[in-house]
Every structure is written in structure tokens, then in C-alpha cells.
Structure 1
Amino acid sequence: MYRRSVILMCLILSVVVRNAYTDTKDCPAGSYCPPSIKTAQPVLCPAGTFSNVGQSVCTPCQSGFHAIKPGSTYCTICPAGYYCPNAHLSPLPCPLGQANDQRGQISCANCAIGHYTTDNGSTHCLDCPPGHFCDDAASLPKPCRLGEANNEMSQSHCKRCGVGNYSQTLGQALCDICPPGSYCNDPAVSPKKCPVGTFSRSGQTICTPCTVGYFMPYIGSTFCDYCPVGHYCPDVTQVKQPCPPGTFNDKYGQIICEKCENGYYTVNYGSTHCIHCPQGHICNNTYSLPESCPSNRLTRQTICLDNIG
């Protein structure tokens, strides 16, 4: 009788143990089941952690990963253009002036000098275009100011135009050279025409005055005219003047005309030489036509002589 009772007890215990083993389940993924806590329900992994099946503790997300909801079975890598400093929070977009071209980052990189971004969450910084400068990576490129230019990419400032050059519009990639007939003494101002009596070649800050014997009565000239023969040029700002009757000029570049000598004349304007008073005539002045002597008298250029003998 005793033996039968022992056997029956053993059978009952084996069934209880088997049923207990059968009812035990693995701790589900996304949860943890501490062995020291007797509970019927697994505990969800908190945000920033995860777990696989049958874990007694949750695993923190590694740097650059995140899990924003409790009960995560895995951590998500931080996308490019974002940074994840806290595993339990959503990814943060890179702010203006910063970028990230790789995943799994906890911070964004500042744009290099001469670069910028236009939006939050940028994966790369943009090159500052020619004609502009980028002194603030969080702002749009600024056009080069008047008197400045920039023909290179990724610049933080524009260069001032050199001597004899200018830029009269915003955002120029190159400075313009001052044209002939003008002067540029301020690179931020349009070229000014050379005044009368002066001239210039290209790239000049001042105009050159005409030298003595030259003239230029017009503005914006690239040269001065040489005073021609038969004329005189006393003022470089005025047109050439023809030599008046009784005077002449047989040379270029003169500021006065020469008077005809006694016995010579010229009645025209712009003469290059004086005419010898012809025989049988008198020339009382240098600017009138010769007068005929009486038939019985000779001439000595300026007077008529009695014909003796």
C-alpha cells in the first residue's frame, strides 16, 4: 500500500513539473524579464534600448543609433543630414551652416570657409559661386560689392578691383578694365570721360594732358592731334587755328605763326609759306595783294623807285 502511494506521488510530481516547463515561455523581443522579479508580464525595453528574444536586460543603442519608442527590437542608425546625440530621441536635422554626409553621427560638421547650406538637414555644404562671397555658412551667398569682384569658387570675401579697373554692378566675377578715353579713379564708379585737352589709354586712373603743340577739343579722346602746318595751337582745349593773312607756319606743332618778312605776303588763311613780292609791284604790307608800280618806275619790294638812266 505504501509503495503504491509513493508511485502515485511521483507520477503527480512529474506531471506538475512537465506542465510547468511546458507553460514557461521565452521573454519576447523588445522586452526584458528580470530573473529576480516574479511577474507574469515581461517589461518593455525603455526608449534608447532594445532586446532580442529571451533577454533579462535591454541593450542600450550604440552611439549614432536611436530607438524612440519603448519595446524596440532594434536600434535605427541615424540618417545622413541628421545627428543623434541621444538614443531615446528622434534624429535632429543638421542646422544651417552644418552638414553630415554619413550615417550614424552624433554631431554635424561645420561648413568650411567659403561654403554654405540653404536648408536644415543638409548632407553636404555648397560651394560659394563666383561673383559672390560667403562669410557666414548659415546665410545665402552675398554678391560682390561695387568696386570688387571674385572669379573663384568658395571664397569668403571678394577682392577689390586693381588700379585702373572697376566694377559698376553687384556680383561681378571680374573687374572691367577702364576703357581708352576714360579714367577710373574709383573702382566702384563707372568710367569718366577724359576732359578736353587730355587723353588716355586703357586702364588709367587719370587722363594725360596734351603736350604743347597738340590739341584735343573733344571729351573722351584716346589721343591728341598734332597741330598741322599752316596752323597754330595756343590752347590744347581748342580747335586748331589757321594762320591769318600775313603769317605762315611751315612746321607742325606750333603755338604761334611767323610773320612774313618785308617784301613777302600772304592773303590767305592757313598759309604754309609767304609769297615773294613780284617784280614791278610793291607790297606795302604782308597781308595784302601786291600793287603794280607805274610803268616808268622800278620796285624794291615795298616802294617804287624812279627809273633813272
Structure 2
Amino acid sequence: MTKHCDHGLEMEMTFLIKCCKIISWIILLFLISEASGLGYELSINCTVHYVTCQACIAGSFANSSVEECACCLTASPGQCFNQSFCQECSKGYYQNNSAQTNCFPCQKGFYTNKKGSTDCTPCEVGFFANKTGLSVCYPCPLGTFQNKTGQPECSLCPVGQYQSQKGQSECKNCSEGTFQNHQGQPQCEDCSPGFYQNQTGQRTCWKCPSGQYQEEKGCSSCNPCDRNTYCREPGCIHCSLCPAGTFGNDSIGLVECPACHPGSFSAANGSSQCTLCSKGFYQSKFNKTNCDPCAVGSYCSDTGCEECGPCPRGQETREQNSTLCHECLIGYYKDVQSKKLCKECEDGFYTTVKGSFLCKQCPQGYYCPSTWESPRVCPQSAICPAGSSSPESCDIPFFSADVQTQKCKATEELIALIIGVSVVAFIILALIVYKVHKERKARQFQEETQPLTTAPKNQIYMGL
């Protein structure tokens, strides 16, 4: 029995000691809270307790409007019970101090993708943040880049460069055969046909130089013009065949096709060589497509004539494109070298050989009815002075031919006839003169005897 009583007493004593400890802790907490001024009243289950609020740590916040049941209704801003009900900063916001009433948005160029952040992270290269309070950074769009961290925007790719991917820290140079003359482009443009670019990072393409061409786009070089073709101006897409009148000499990269020289020609486009004029033809000019026939009176006896030559004296050509001269025909002559034809001998002149320089005059006592015959003897009844083309007959019986002088001389019959005719003519003339004189004298007598007036004879004249 005694041991049993001792055990009960010991239990009672233990309970009393625990109660004293609880009461002591309550009194101690009350005194501490009163001393520090941080004691607040919180109602839980209608029982009044005194608790201590603690400041929210960095990355969270609390303000006086917080009304969670466990928070102190009259707590100072940024403090809450046991930190259990402080709100974490949202993504894109941060707070690097404790006991704050709000969080700050991340500045442009920065972000945070976690709740309760104490600071923001700068955007990496190739990314940007153009607004505040972002939880992520955006990749730089096509045609832009960013090579720095913490930037609010991306930069445009400069001319001559491009960017075909998002989120890049640098742009790429346009490759050979391409160009870009605008900023912020996602790709480069191909050089057009007739242009090329053999360097990277260029804003323009260059024209193919003269003598070269390019049919395709996006090329880094041009091709020399093919054989017997040419390109005069820069930027050729195609080369042209050397035109007729020129030649290519099977050369490549021609800027101009050489012209055919005098004495030669080319009739077709793309000729490699010029053709010499054939015999009997000539060409005196450059860049011709054909040769001209030698005119009548001239000739060319060799190929490649620039001019047709004149025939020497005593020779001629009687048709076009002659290769040699022919002697003047009988009865014709040419006294000087020229391109003229032989001339026929004049009347009274002749020649009986070919290739004559001059014609001979028909001699006295002869006549030449044609220029190609020998002189003929003058008939006895005619005269033939030098250069006669036909005999001149003397009229018989009044004239007779004088062989020495080759003149017609009067006969005795003609002299008698002339004298008789002269006497008769003198008599007739005398009679005519006599008759005219007689008539004139009679007219004069009549005029002298005729009255001055025709008035009546008994007319009386009175004075004033």
C-alpha cells in the first residue's frame, strides 16, 4: 500500500511541474512580446493567443491587406506568421530584400522563370526581352541577331549579311554569287544572269565585263565568250555571233569582232575568217559582206583586189568582172591607160590592127569608108583630100578633078557659061535701072504741075 501511494504522489508532482513550465513559457513569451512591441492578438478557435510574426524572406512579400486566417491582422508590412503565409514573387518578378510589401518586375533584357526569385537573369546572346516582368526571353527573329546579354531588342543584320535562324548571336555573310542590299533579311539574293559576285558579304553584284557572259543566276564568275562570238557592253547574258563583214579568228572572249579588210569579206554571222575577193571582183571598204564586180573597162587578175586596175593603152574590157584586158578591136583605139573603153576612129581615120594607140588619117588621094579598112584610091572624077571618109565628085562638064591639089577645078565650058550669064544679067539690070529712072522723073513732073488746092475757081478770098 505504501508503494502505491508513493507512485500516485509522484504522478501528481510531475503534472504540476509540467503545468508550471507551460505557464512559465506563456508568461515569458508575453513579457518578450510586450518588451519588443511585436505581440499581436490572433483569434483561433475563439481563443486568444499571442504570437510573434517574422519578416518575409527575400523572394517573398506580405502586405497589410493579407487576410489569411493565420496571418497577423495588424502585422507590419512584409511580416507574417512563421513565414508560412508570405507570398512568393511570381515568375518575371523578384524581391532582393526581406520584409517587403511587393515584388519588382524584371527590367527589359532580364527575366526569371522561377517563383520567389531574389534577382533576374540577363537574356543570353541571341535572345531579348522587350518588356518588363517577363518570365522568358524571346529568340531574335529571322534577319536579326544579338551578341550581348541582357538586351531589350535585337539588331538588324547589316547589308551583305543575313540570318535564316532564330536566336542567333551573329549574322552570316552572303556567300559568293549572292548579295543583300537591305538590312534585316533572312536570306541573300542570287546575282541575276549577266552579273556575278566572287566575294562574300557583299551588298551588290557586279556586271560581267565586256567579252564575258553569264546565263545563270547566283554565279561567282563569268564565262568568256565562245569562239567567234563577242560581247561589247558589260553585263551580257549571251554573247552574239560575229556579224557578217567581221571575223572571229576562232578567238574567245572577244569584245569586238575585227572587221574584214579591203579586198575581203564575210557573208555569214560567226565567220572565223574573211574570204578574199575572187578574181574579177574587188572591195575597197572595211566590214563588207560581199565583193563587187570590176566595172567594164577595168580588171582584177588576182584574188583579194582592193581596186580594179585600169587597162593599159590599146586595151580594154568589154564586160564586168574581167580578169584581164583585151586589145582594142580593129578600127578602135585607146591612147592612154584608163578604165575607159576603146574609142572608134573618127571619120577619115582608120586602123587595121588590134590594140591601136592611135588611128591613122586617111591620106590625100584616098578615102576611108570605114575605120577598120585600108584607104581606097579616090576615083578619077572625084577628089579625096586628106581625112576623107568618102570621095567628093566633081560635076561634069563644068568641073574636073585636079589630082595634084585634090580640088575640083572649073572647065572652059563653065567659064563661058559664067561670062554669058554675066552679060545677060548686066543687060537686064541696065533695063531695070532705066525703067525705074524714067518712072521717077514722070512722077516728079506731075507733082510740080498739080494745083495747091481743089477748091472752085470762082471762090473769093476776103481780107480781114
User: How does the TM-score come out when normalised to structure 2?
Assistant: 0.49
Which blocks of at least 5 consecutive residues in structure 1 are unaligned? 272-280, 297-309
Q: Distance in 2 between matches of 1:32 and 1:294?
A: 147
Match of 1:255 among 313, 317, 323: 323
Q: Secondary structure at the match of 1:18?
A: coil
Q: Distance in 2 between matches of 1:249 and 1:238?
A: 18
Give yes or no for contact 1:67–1:87 (8 Å, CA) kept in 2. Answer: no
The aligned residue for residue 66 of structure 1 is: 128
**Is 1:127 equivalent to 2:180 in the alignment?**
no
**Is 1:156 equivalent to 2:220 in the alignment?**
yes
Distance 1:212 1:65, change over 3 A: same
**Is 1:103 equivalent to 2:189 in the alignment?**
no
The 5-angstrom pairing of residues 103-252 of structure 1 reads 103-139=166-202, 140-183=204-247, 187=253, 189-201=255-267, 202-204=269-271, 206-227=273-294, 231-234=298-301, 236-241=304-309, 247=315
Higher RCO (CA < 8 A, seq sep 6+):
1
Structure with more helix by fraction: 2
Which blocks of at least 5 consecutive residues in structure 2 are unaligned? 1-18, 31-46, 54-69, 73-79, 335-339, 343-349, 360-370, 379-464
Kindly provide the amino acid, as one letter, of the partner of residue 170 in structure 1: P
Distance 1:57 1:282, change over 3 A: closer
Pairwise CA distance, 1:116: 0.9
Q: Distance in 2 between matches of 1:98 and 1:243?
A: 77
Give yes or no for contact 1:231–1:270 (8 Å, CA) kept in 2. Answer: no
Pairwise CA distance, 1:99: 0.9
Give yes or no for contact 2:331–2:353 (8 Å, CA) kept in 1. Answer: no
User: How does the TM-score come out when normalised to structure 1?
Assistant: 0.69
Kindly provide the amino acid, as one letter, of the partner of residue 138 in structure 1: G
Pairwise CA distance, 1:222: 0.8
Distance 1:50 1:266, change over 3 A: farther
**Is 1:291 equivalent to 2:373 in the alignment?**
yes
The alignment covers a number of residue pairs equal to 282
Distance 1:196 1:44, change over 3 A: same
Kindly provide the amino acid, as one letter, of the partner of residue 323 in structure 2: I
Q: Deviations over 1:192-211 (max 9, x none)?
A: 43222111232245533224
The 5-angstrom pairing of residues 296-307 of structure 1 reads none
- What is the CA RMSD across the aligned residues, in angstroms? 4.3
Give yes or no for contact 1:282–1:293 (8 Å, CA) kept in 2. Answer: no
Distance 1:267 1:44, change over 3 A: same
Give yes or no for contact 2:141–2:165 (8 Å, CA) kept in 1. Answer: yes
Q: Distance in 2 between matches of 1:244 and 1:256?
A: 11
Q: Distance in 1 between matches of 2:128 and 2:135?
A: 11
Identity percentage of aligned residues: 28
Give yes or no for contact 2:124–2:150 (8 Å, CA) kept in 1. Answer: no
Structure of larger gyration radius = 2
Q: Distance in 2 between matches of 1:192 and 1:219?
A: 10
The aligned residue for residue 116 of structure 2 is: 54
Q: Distance in 2 between matches of 1:284 and 1:66?
A: 114
Distance 1:173 1:284, change over 3 A: closer
Pairwise CA distance, 1:115: 0.4
Q: Deviations over 1:81-136 (max 9, x none)?
A: 11234442342332443212343334433323310111332222011122221122
**Is 1:40 equivalent to 2:99 in the alignment?**
yes
